[in-house]
């Protein structure tokens, strides 16, 4: 393959949206950040220079980083953050993957501003398993806060209530005409009649799953998280933070209107506040005023039925060229409860969580505690003492009716806990959503791997009656899956990539409350089954 060199200069820049100007971190002065384009098998060398006063690190979301966790990017997991004035080079090869992925900052909530597309084209000798589109266009969905985001995080962590919500959703950084003082900041997709466009959709919003649709047009989904799927056509789709989706849009041969609106709006079942606005953008055949275009009909914010109907469509292509390599035998069965919990309110604070407690979040009641040094380095040096504990609970602490009335005591335990896995362990993981305080769905993202989604359902997972219904023939392969409120998802993966790999809720508010854990996958016996040595410029904590 080829080698692509990029330089990321992280600098503050003044940006204005909704008539509010604030200074935000950017990559090379761009917001959203630059698009990286490679081919399957190519090497990427991204030299990051941090010129801001915050720590930063970058994650190449969905890239498997085989044996090379050093390039994965989550701060304090695979590397110490890059401090102001420091540099680090991410050097990795994209192996066995093609499609749409993305990159984002992985320190605190910096990804609200630092994100961009990572396009992986098929090898030159391979086409797409569908007719070649006339044009390909990345569309990143995001969120804009008028307030300083550091203040929003601190508010969420310290008051112990829900965070202040965003002021707008965005298309490629632009809120569009439905917001005050924003019509001039409207994203326009210029099209020709009777052609097929491939939209590379990326949900980079911080805390919201989103519905998306285009008035008078249908969308054919062909890829999810850089894996081909059996094509299916919908009016509206839903996409969780962290997920990517390629959809084909065929334009009208004789459009009745010069332009049509596209829109995004939130899907949630939170009992707290959320950004209940709709952002619009334009599919433009010929210039037209964006303000007057009718919006596509999107489902109501709490339409779980629409979400379920949509997500059940996903099937791997499972063709001879792109087989679904789902593990058929399972070495380890694990059940993780995924959800929110609480901490006691410190006596010097007034907390805004349930019953005067402070919100926390957990997996199997463990709220992940950020270590003081990078777990991957500790693992490589086999120096675990004082850094991590290998006793992450592999079953819920006390069985209860996860989806019924929550228990009275929802206090979490805190710790930097990991699940150790032998190389090549085949894992089946049931992610059980709960009804604990403020229950929401949780988009769970796994670093270093894709998993196969073999089953999903509502209520409590039933270990006797649910597994026989699993789809082991063509389950979708993804890196992020939404665990429904009061429901469950079963995934399988083969632990063939040694290293320390984070798994977490891709709502940044839940991540900062501790909805996170890590897998510690040991080296295999062969030389090509061992972690690569760390690069010499790896940042220090
Ligand atoms: Cu896209 Cu750990 O994140």
List, as one string, the DSSP characters of 329-396.
S-SEEEEEEEEEEEEPPPTTS---SGGG-EEEEEETTEEE---SS-HHHHHHTT--TTT-BS---SS-
Measured from the Cα of 504, ligand 1's closest atom is: 2
Boundary residue ending a domain (107, 128, 149): 128
User: Does the beta carbon of 510 sit less than 6 angstroms from any atom of ligand 1?
Assistant: no
Specify whether 190 is located in the same domain as 287: yes
Q: CA 300 to CA 191: how far, in whole Å?
A: 29
Q: Ligand 1: distance of its center to the CA of 242 in Å?
A: 7
User: Does the beta carbon of 242 sit less than 6 angstroms from any atom of ligand 1?
Assistant: yes
User: Does the beta carbon of 111 sit less than 6 angstroms from any atom of ligand 1?
Assistant: no
In the chain, what percentage of residues exceed pLDDT 70? 97
540 domain-assigned? no
Measured from the Cα of 104, ligand 1's closest atom is: 1
* Sheet of 358-363, strand order: 413-415, 366-368, 358-363, 332-343, 425-433, 487-495, 451-458, 476-478
Mind listing the pLDDT tens digit for each residue in 363-385? 999 999 999 999 999 999 999 99
What's 395-450 look like in SS3? CCCCCCCCCCCCCCCCECEEECEEEEECCCEEEEEEEEECCCCCCCCEEEEECCCC
Nearest to 368 by CA among 416, 426, 305: 416
In the chain, what percentage of residues exceed pLDDT 90? 84
Burial class of residue 332 in the structure, from the number of CB atoms within 10 Å of its CB (0-12 exposed, 13-18 middle, 19+ buried):
middle
User: Does the beta carbon of 74 sit less than 6 angstroms from any atom of ligand 1?
Assistant: yes
User: Does the beta carbon of 504 sit less than 6 angstroms from any atom of ligand 1?
Assistant: yes
Characterize the bridge pairing of strands 115-121 and 87-93.
unpaired
Residue 119: CB atoms within 10 Å: 18
What is the pLDDT, as a whole number, of residue 148?
87
pLDDT tops 80 at residue 271: no
Specify whether 340 is located in the same domain as 472: yes
What is the pLDDT, as a whole number, of residue 355?
79
pLDDT tops 80 at residue 157: no
Q: CA 177 to CA 183: how far, in whole Å?
A: 4
Specify whether 134 is located in the same domain as 79: no
539 domain-assigned? no
538 domain-assigned? no
Between 289 and 138, where is the model more confident?
138
Average pLDDT, the chain: 94
Measured from the Cα of 502, ligand 1's closest atom is: 2
Mind listing the pLDDT tens digit for each residue in 380-411? 999 999 999 999 999 887 766 677 766 666 78
Q: CA 419 to CA 66: how far, in whole Å?
A: 19
Q: Ligand 1: distance of its center to the CA of 445 in Å?
A: 6
User: Does the beta carbon of 447 sit less than 6 angstroms from any atom of ligand 1?
Assistant: yes
What is the pLDDT, as a whole number, of residue 352?
79
Boundary residue ending a domain (87, 111, 128): 128
Specify whether 246 is located in the same domain as 178: yes
128-136: average pLDDT: 97
Specify whether 347 is located in the same domain as 309: no
Measured from the Cα of 511, ligand 1's closest atom is: 2
Nearest to 247 by CA among 255, 239, 258: 239
Question: CATH no. for residue 109?
Answer: 2.60.40.420
Single pTM value for the model: 0.97
Specify whether 368 is located in the same domain as 464: yes
User: Does the beta carbon of 106 sit less than 6 angstroms from any atom of ligand 1?
Assistant: yes
What is the pLDDT, as a whole number, of residue 95?
96
And the tokens for 525? 């016996």
187-214: average pLDDT: 98
Q: Ligand 1: distance of its center to the CA of 480 in Å?
A: 9
What is the pLDDT, as a whole number, of residue 248?
98
Specify whether 81 is located in the same domain as 146: no
**Residue 137 structural domain:** 130-316
Specify whether 347 is located in the same domain as 482: yes
pLDDT tops 70 at residue 252: yes
289-293: average pLDDT: 87
pLDDT tops 90 at residue 439: no
Q: What's the Rg (C-alpha) of the chain? A: 22
Q: ∠ CA 520-522-523 to the nearest 5 degrees?
A: 145
What is the pLDDT, as a whole number, of residue 436?
66
Boundary residue ending a domain (316, 348, 373): 316
Q: CA 392 to CA 81: how far, in whole Å?
A: 24
Q: CA 410 to CA 125: how far, in whole Å?
A: 55
Measured from the Cα of 480, ligand 1's closest atom is: 1
And the tokens for 46? 């991204």
Mind listing the pLDDT tens digit for each residue in 173-186? 999 999 999 999 99
What is the pLDDT, as a whole number, of residue 190?
98
325 domain-assigned? no
Positive or negative, the Cα torsion across 204, 207, 209, 213? Answer: negative
324 domain-assigned? no
Domain count, the chain: 3
Measure the CA dihedral 175/178/181/183, to 10°: 70
Specify whether 404 is located in the same domain as 482: yes
Specify whether 385 is located in the same domain as 261: no
What is the pLDDT, as a whole number, of residue 353?
77
| Residue ID of nearest Cα to ligand 1 atom 3 | 61
pLDDT tops 80 at residue 418: yes
Residue 519: partners with Cβ closer than 8 Å, 6 or more residues away:
418, 419, 421, 448, 495, 500, 501, 503
Mind listing the pLDDT tens digit for each residue in 308-335? 999 999 999 999 999 999 999 999 999 9
User: Does the beta carbon of 104 sit less than 6 angstroms from any atom of ligand 1?
Assistant: yes
Mind listing the pLDDT tens digit for each residue in 451-484? 999 999 999 999 999 999 999 999 999 999 999 9
And the tokens for 142? 């995001």
User: Which of the residue ranges 60-64, 285-289, 354-358, 439-443 has the most confident prediction, judged by mean pLDDT?
Assistant: 60-64
327 domain-assigned? no
Q: Ligand 1: distance of its center to the CA of 104 in Å?
A: 8
């Amino acid at each position: 393959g080829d080698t692509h060199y990029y330089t990321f200069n992280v600098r503050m820049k003044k940006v204005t949206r909704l008539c509010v100007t604030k200074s935000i971190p950017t990559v090379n002065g761009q917001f959203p950040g630059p698009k990286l384009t490679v081919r399957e098998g190519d090497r990427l060398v991204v030299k990051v220079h941090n010129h801001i006063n915050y720590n930063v690190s970058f994650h190449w979301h969905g890239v498997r980083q085989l044996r090379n966790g050093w390039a994965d990017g989550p701060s304090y997991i695979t590397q110490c953050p890059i401090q102001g004035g420091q540099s680090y080079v991410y050097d990795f090869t994209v192996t066995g993957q093609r499609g749409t992925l993305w990159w984002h900052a992985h320190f605190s909530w910096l990804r609200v501003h630092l994100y961009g597309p990572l396009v992986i084209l098929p090898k030159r000798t391979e086409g797409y398993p569908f007719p070649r589109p006339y044009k390909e266009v990345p569309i990143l969905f995001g969120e804009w806060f008028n307030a300083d985001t550091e203040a929003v995080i601190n508010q969420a962590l310290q008051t112990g209530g829900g965070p202040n919500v965003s002021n707008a959703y965005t298309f490629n950084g632009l809120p569009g005409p439905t917001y005050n003082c924003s019509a001039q900041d409207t994203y326009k997709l210029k099209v020709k009649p009777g052609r097929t466009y491939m939209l590379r959709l990326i949900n980079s919003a911080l805390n919201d799953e989103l519905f998306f649709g285009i008035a008078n047009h249908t969308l054919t989904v062909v890829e999810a998280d850089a894996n081909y799927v059996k094509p299916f056509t919908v009016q509206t789709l839903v996409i969780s933070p962290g997920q990517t989706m390629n959809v084909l849009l065929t334009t009208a041969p004789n459009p009745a209107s010069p332009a049509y609106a596209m829109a995004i709006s939130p899907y949630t079942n939170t009992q707290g506040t959320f950004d209940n606005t709709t952002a619009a953008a334009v599919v433009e055949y010929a210039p037209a005023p964006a303000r007057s275009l009718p919006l596509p009909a999107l489902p109501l914010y709490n339409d779980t039925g629409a979400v379920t109907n949509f997500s059940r469509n996903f099937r791997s292509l499972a063709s001879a060229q792109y087989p679904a390599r789902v593990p058929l035998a399972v070495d380890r069965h694990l059940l993780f409860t995924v959800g929110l919990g609480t901490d006691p309110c410190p006596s010097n604070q007034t907390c805004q969580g349930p019953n005067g407690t402070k919100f926390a979040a957990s997996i199997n009641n463990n709220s992940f505690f950020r270590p003081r040094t990078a777990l991957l380095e500790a693992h490589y040096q086999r120096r675990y003492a004082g850094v991590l504990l290998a006793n992450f609970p592999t079953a819920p602490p006390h069985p209860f009716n996860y989806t019924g009335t929550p228990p009275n005591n929802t206090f979490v335990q805190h710790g930097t806990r990991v699940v150790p896995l032998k190389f090549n362990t085949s894992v089946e993981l049931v992610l059980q959503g709960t009804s604990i305080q403020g229950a929401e769905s949780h988009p769970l993202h796994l670093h270093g791997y894709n998993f196969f989604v073999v089953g999903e359902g509502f209520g409590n997972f039933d270990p006797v009656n649910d597994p026989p219904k699993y789809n082991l023939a063509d389950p979708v392969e993804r890196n992020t899956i939404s665990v429904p409120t009061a429901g469950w998802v079963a995934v399988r993966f083969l632990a063939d990539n040694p290293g320390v790999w984070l798994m977490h809720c891709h709502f940044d508010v839940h991540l900062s409350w501790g909805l996170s854990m890590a897998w510690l996958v040991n080296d295999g016996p062969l030389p090509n089954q061992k972690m690569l040595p760390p690069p010499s410029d790896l940042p220090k904590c």
